[in-house]
């Protein structure tokens, strides 16, 4: 379904006023809006806008709402499923709890947890920083002190916090505090955020076991910090693995290969040490 001029102008106005829209995006959107207001040809103007946005769209590097608008003007179906933020809350304080983990880009941290039995909700967002209501770009710049993270609500009758922590170690490189895998920067460093003494004890004991396992040549640098305000990221970035399955599979494959290679090196090193002692 093609956009009408009225629909295009409405979307352009909203994107221009959107605080998350980047300055460069806003400049090309304003240029297109001004041209349409002077009765320039709609198809020609949208084609020109598409050409300007295309390089960033190909790399999936447009801000969320601009990316959705780009999908509209190229005729792709826009993801209709919306994350229901109102449902991400604890309803049963006796049998529900929450956990927060920072393990690199939140795109790859949702699916491994969300597909486990006993997980009620997984929310992507930012935490651990010093700026209220941080935008995606602000966190990406590293200036706010936040890390990308996931907040998990789980049913304690079906899965324990210890099981979540054990899974977490399988998803990250605990020796890298400058980022994770292809994602570089402090906003991607691995951190376990604990909300009480019980979670801290479990996390610290688990980290100790990882260190004592001898699997890693480099020091285990994953931090353990108290939880702080968790700021959800906008809908566009929620449940990335469902909205962008092909790209997610490529990223996941890269991470899995790296972790497998790292584990194999650890096993070889441990066997060598064992033989050497004998």
Domain residue ranges in the chain:
5-73, 85-240
With beta carbons less than 8 A apart as the criterion, state whether 227 and 127 touch.
yes
Give residue 223's pLDDT: 97
Task: State yes or no: pLDDT of 1 exceeds 70.
Answer: no
CA distance 181 to 169: 14
Give residue 74's pLDDT: 86
Give residue 57's pLDDT: 86
Task: State yes or no: pLDDT of 78 exceeds 60.
Answer: no
Confidence bin at 104 (pLDDT 50/70/90): very high
Q: Which residues of 210-220 are buried (b: 16+ CB within 10 A; e: fewer)?
A: beeeebbeeeb
Q: Please compute the mean of the pLDDT values over residues 144-169 and round it to a whole number.
A: 97
CA distance 204 to 208: 6
**What is the CA angle 255-225-161, rounded to 5?**
70
Average pLDDT over the chain reads 90
Confidence bin at 271 (pLDDT 50/70/90): confident
Q: Please compute the mean of the pLDDT values over residues 179-208 and round it to a whole number.
A: 95
Question: Catalytic residue numbers?
Answer: 105
Q: Please compute the mean of the pLDDT values over residues 97-118 and round it to a whole number.
A: 95
For domain 85-240, is the CATH number 3.30.1060.10? yes
Give residue 122's pLDDT: 97
Of 2 and 227, the structure prediction assigns the larger pLDDT to 227
With beta carbons less than 8 A apart as the criterion, state whether 217 and 273 touch.
no
Whole-model pTM: value is 0.75
């Amino acid at each position: 379904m093609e956009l009408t001029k009225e629909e295009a102008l409405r979307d352009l106005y909203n994107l221009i006023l959107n605080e998350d829209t980047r300055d460069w995006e806003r400049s090309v959107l304003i240029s297109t809006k001004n041209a349409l207001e002077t009765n320039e040809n709609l198809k020609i103007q949208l084609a020109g806008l598409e050409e300007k946005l295309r390089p960033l769209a190909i790399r999936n590097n447009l801000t969320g709402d601009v990316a959705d608008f780009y999908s509209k003007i190229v005729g792709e179906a826009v993801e209709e499923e919306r994350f229901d933020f109102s449902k991400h809350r604890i309803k049963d304080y006796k049998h529900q709890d929450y956990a927060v983990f920072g393990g690199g880009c939140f795109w790859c941290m949702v699916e491994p947890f969300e597909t486990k039995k006993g997980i009620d909700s997984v929310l992507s967002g930012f935490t651990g920083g010093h700026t209220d209501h941080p935008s995606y770009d602000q966190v990406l710049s590293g200036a706010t002190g936040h890390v990308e993270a996931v907040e998990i609500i789980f049913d304690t009758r079906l899965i324990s916090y210890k099981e979540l922590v054990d899974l977490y170690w399988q998803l990250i490189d605990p020796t890298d505090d400058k980022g994770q895998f292809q994602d570089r920067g402090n906003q991607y460093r691995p951190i376990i955020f604990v909300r009480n003494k019980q979670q801290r004890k479990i996390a610290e004991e688990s980290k100790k076991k990882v260190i004592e396992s001898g699997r890693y040549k480099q020091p285990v640098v994953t931090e353990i910090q108290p939880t702080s305000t968790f700021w959800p990221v906008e809908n566009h970035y929620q449940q990335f693995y469902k909205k962008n399955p092909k790209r997610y599979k490529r990223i996941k494959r890269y991470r899995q290969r790296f972790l497998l290679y790292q584990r194999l090196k650890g096993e070889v090193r441990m066997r060598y040490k064992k033989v050497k002692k004998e």
